[in-house]
Amino acid sequence: MDRDAEHRELDESTDDATAGDAPTPAPPEPTGPEPSGIASVDGAIARLRDVESAPLDTHVEIFDDVQRQLHDALAELDDEQ
């Protein structure tokens, strides 16, 4: 068998193997966390979602803001106890 015939045979066997396969479904869209019921925490989570559409050079600012908001929320919980 010549080299071209070998390639045609490989191509045909590959086509047969994948012809009956159903397309792979896309993974479900992430929905994010459930609301916590704590306004400051939910606000921080909402702010974190801004990263998706924000320019790369603002990501650190957003992460810092979220970290500060969560830190403040924890401090408020400590103050309440």
Q: What is the mean pLDDT of the chain?
A: 81
* SS3 call for 37: coil
Is residue 38 predicted with pLDDT exceeding 70?
A: yes
How many whole angstroms separate alpha carbon 14 and alpha carbon 40? 55
pLDDT of residue 48: 92
Work out the pLDDT band at 5, boundaries 50, 70, 90. Answer: low
The predicted model gives 56-77 an average pLDDT of 94
pTM over 0.75: no
